[in-house]
Amino acid sequence: MKKSMALLLVGAMVLSLAGCTGSQSSSTGTAGGNTEGTTTVGAEAGDVIKLGYFGPETGPNSMTGQEARKGAQLKVKEINQAGGILGQQVTLVVYDDKGTPEGAVKAATRLVEDDKVSAIVGSQLSSNLQAAGDKIEKGGIPCVGTGLGPVWLKNGWKYFFRSQGNSESGAAPLNDVMEQVGVKSMAVMIAQDEGSISSAKLVTDEVGRRGNISITTSEVSQNTDTDWTGQLSKMISTSPDGIFLSVQVEQAGPMIKQLRGLGYEGFIFGNECLGMPDVRLVAGDAANNSIYYAVHVIPDSIEEANSEKEKAFLQAFTDEYGALPIGDVAYRTYDAVTIIQKGIEDAGNTEPTAIRDAIKNISGLEVLAGTIDYTQFDNGEGMVGTQIFITENGRNYLFEKYVDEFGVPTVN
Amino acid sequence: MFVNVLIGGLVLGCTYGMLALGYSLIYQASGYMNFTQPDLLMVGAFMGLTFFGTWGWPFAISLALAMIMMFLLGMAMERSFIRTLVKKGAKNIYIVLATIALSTILQNAAMLIWDSRQHSFPSIFTKIKPFKIGGASVRPEGILAIVVAISAMVLLHLFLNKTKFGTAMRASAQNKTAANVMGINVWQTISITYGIAAALACLGGVIVAPNLGVSMNLGTQLGMKSFASAVIGGYGNMYGAIVGALLIGLIETFSAAYIGSLYKDFIVFALLILAMIFKPTGIFNAKVYDT
């Protein structure tokens, strides 16, 4: 009996482990080193257009990373179902960069040197784009990155583009709202990744430039932190009118929960991460009274989409994956593939430099984030513009609409 | 602020302590280091979440069932992987590497069984609201974590030192051949130890989950500092595990609050290095070096 039980347990475990390794290798690639790591999504073989993708499938940012990959895959599938590009089917070569800069460099190297892709959809982590950029630039492959930090597009690279507005455009409107609700002092928490550092710098620089709000303390959160009692207690002890959290979505939920648990009831400000559904899921009511900037906020249902284009995207995403996206990164990668598609169509061939030149001249392309116009910036940026949202009563409101309905919330 | 930081540090320390106890327990019984503990905590928390949060079963039943399943998983891991390697004559370093590999497999398995999202674990005490101690807001789950960690430490110490099975565990670790000659079923003893350590990790995971949430990265985030706790306290010593963990938790939290959040990890791991150089036996003089 004991032996049977043991064998059963071992068998179950081996099966589960075999199952997990099998599924892993078929669903995603890895930049870790083995050539089996690549995954082709879309067309299988033959005369196909090969696009590359790298992002965090595993590691601390895997939650949003997988959503990003799904967005790109969905667009590739739609393209292929519609007959492909220039009559050719499209395949997406996916690499897991594990959310690390070194993983991103490995992935970029593989995409440029081994897979010889025509164009790349880049990670949603700005630090990884920054790390992998030189390799892609020297390889002469156009890359539409999805990270929002402004820094990586300030390197003078000629093959890089962004699929939506950068986080720079959120700083001023967020400051407007901070002042509107009566914030005079603010404590800041900054996660130690490129995107969070950039967005914090933009917002605090704007605060400093205006001179209407004092920053009481600025604390940091390491990627491995699970408890922020020390930092949060210090921040609360300075009695700020508001707290600005520039952190990744994986940290935002538990951090807000702990913040409220320590007795803080005031406004929480932040970047687009605060609008992710998982923040409300984890933090629950603690997420109320959060105000943040974002291009997209995932609605609670398809019907609440802000446009017909978004509604169609959400319907397709739900049909394909069984649920709404949990991060706006899916929008960004979907748009990135759309931009590359337009670039290839305009170029009339799949030569990377020709695609780059064509993307550079894209103007008036309607995507989920708005209208792309690379001609007006000449640095890879294609649009500006974010909106301010507030989480109240367990749901996200466009701040303007909230004010119309409930009036301006104020510091108590 | 002081009371908030103190309580936060104690709760964090006890969270590390649950894992550190598992590290020490396995080392006591088998002489091996086992790096699957943090991910067993994560899997245990997910199981608790499924039973309690998703299926709505009573908390006590959910916890008990999750611990039983984790106990069996711990035993299965030992029987299928660790024992195979040991019987093949693998050196200790290979056992350690195998546990690191298992740790990654557990994370990926969790991602496939559940997902890679953050999950909210429902409050265990629905009728007890957070209360004030010295002006600080305290969640009842925080107090529970402290009580459970201290109780686990005492019970494990008594179990190891006052029971026949505990003596057998220690004998198995010290000299397997001699223990065998004395009639101790060494492999069964080690197997049960892995099971107990896994169940303990599960207990820790379920207790801290309402505060930290549950995700596939939960164990990774706690693992290194828990290991540091076990080393600083005295690797293999139950009291050392908890005292080391409380020390780390308090230093980390007070450093963040009073010195600067940029320095807290630097301070914690510098302490680990210093302890390994100047006090390798830890606070409780554990026998960790071959001399």
Quickly list DSSP for B140-160: HHHHHHHHHHHHHHHHHHHHH
A237 touches chain B (CB under 8 A): yes
Residue B107 lies in a domain: yes
Q: Residue A249 has what pLDDT?
A: 82
Q: Which residues of chain B have pLDDT under 50?
A: 291
Cα–Cα distance measured from residue B197 to residue B195, given in angstroms and rounded to the nearest whole number: 5
**B286 within some domain:** no
By CA distance, what is B3's nearest residue in A? Answer: A233
Q: Is residue B59 part of a domain?
A: yes
How big, in percent rounded to 5, are the helix, strand and coil portions of chain A?
50, 20, 30
Q: What does the radius of gyration of chain A's CA atoms come to, in whole angstroms?
A: 22
Chain B residue with the nearest C-alpha to that of A258: B211
Q: Provide the domain count of chain B.
A: 1
User: CB count, 10 Å around CB of A278?
Assistant: 23
pLDDT of amino acid A36: 33
The per-residue pLDDT for A30 is 43
Q: Does A239 touch chain B (CB under 8 A)?
A: no
Interface of A with B in 55-94 (CB under 8 A): 58-60, 62-63, 65-66
Domains detected in chain A? 26-165+309-376 (3.40.50.2300), 168-294+387-406 (3.40.50.2300)
Predicted local confidence at residue A307, as pLDDT: 80
Cβ atoms of A80 and A49 closer than 8 Å: no
DSSP for A18-49, please give it: HHHHHHHHHH---TTS-GGG-EEEE--SSSEE
Tally Cβ neighbours within 10 Å of residue A10.
17
- Tell me which of A17, A23, A229, A321 to substitute to probe the interface with B (most B C-beta atoms closer than 10 Å): A229
pLDDT of residue A10: 42
pTM equals: 0.73
Establish if B291 belongs to a structural domain: no
- Residues of chain A above pLDDT 70, percent: 89
pLDDT at A23 > cutoff 70: no
What per-residue confidence (pLDDT) applies to A42? 55
Nearest to B268 by CA among B83, B54, B12: B12
CB B149 within 8 A of CB B242: yes
Q: Which helix (H) or strand (E) holds A191?
A: strand A185-191
For residue B112, being part of any structural domain is answered with yes
Give contacts of B224 with chain A, Cβ < 8 Å: 224
Whether B87 maps to a domain, the answer reads yes
Query: Would you call B8 and A224 a contact, using CB atoms and an 8 Å cutoff?
Result: no
Are A6 and B137 within 8 A, CB to CB?
A: no
Q: Which among B117, B212, B258 is the nearest to A226, CB-wise?
A: B212
Mean pLDDT of chain A: 86
What's the pLDDT score for residue A43? 53
Query: Measured between CB atoms, which of B75, B253, B262 is closest to A9?
Result: B75
Mean pLDDT to the nearest integer, A369-394? 88
Distances (CA, A) of A53 to A29, A95, B273: 10, 6, 40
Judged against a pLDDT cut of 70, whether residue A34 lies above it is answered with no
pLDDT for A290-335, tens place per residue? 999 988 788 888 988 878 899 999 999 999 999 999 888 999 999 9
pLDDT of residue A240: 95
For residue A41, what pLDDT is reported? 55
By C-alpha distance, the chain B residue nearest A23 is B112
- Which chain A residues are closer than 8 Å to B221 by Cβ? 224-226
pLDDT at A20 over 80: no
CB contact under 8 A, A63 and B211: no
Higher pLDDT, A173 or A18: A173
CA nearest to A164, candidates A407, A349, A405, A338: A338
pLDDT tens-digit series, residues A114-167: 999 999 999 989 889 999 999 999 999 999 999 888 889 999 999 999 998 887
- Across the interface, of B108, B111, B120, the residue whose CB is closest to A282 is B120
- Residue B284 covered by a domain: no
> Interhelix angle for B264-278 vs B238-254, to 10°?
140
Which structural domain range is residue B84 located in?
2-278
**Alpha carbon of B88: minimum distance to chain A alpha carbons (Å):** 18
Contact B111, B216 (CB under 8 A): yes
Sign of CA dihedral B86, B91, B94, B96: positive
Strands A363-367 and A370-373, by their bridges, are: antiparallel
pLDDT digits (tens, 9 = 90+) for A190-201: 998 877 898 899
CB atoms near residue A78 (< 10 Å): 18
DSSP code at position B50: I
Percent with pLDDT over 90 in chain A: 57
Contact criterion met (CB below 8 Å) for A50 and A118: yes
Helix (H) or strand (E) holding A215: strand A214-221
What is the CB-side half-sphere exposure of residue B95 using CA atoms within 13 A? 22
Q: Are A365 and A372 in contact (CB under 8 A)?
A: yes
Q: Per the domain annotation, does B194 fall within a domain?
A: yes
**CB-CB neighbors (< 8 A) of A254 in chain B:** 118, 211-213
Residues 6+ away with beta carbon under 8 Å from B129: none
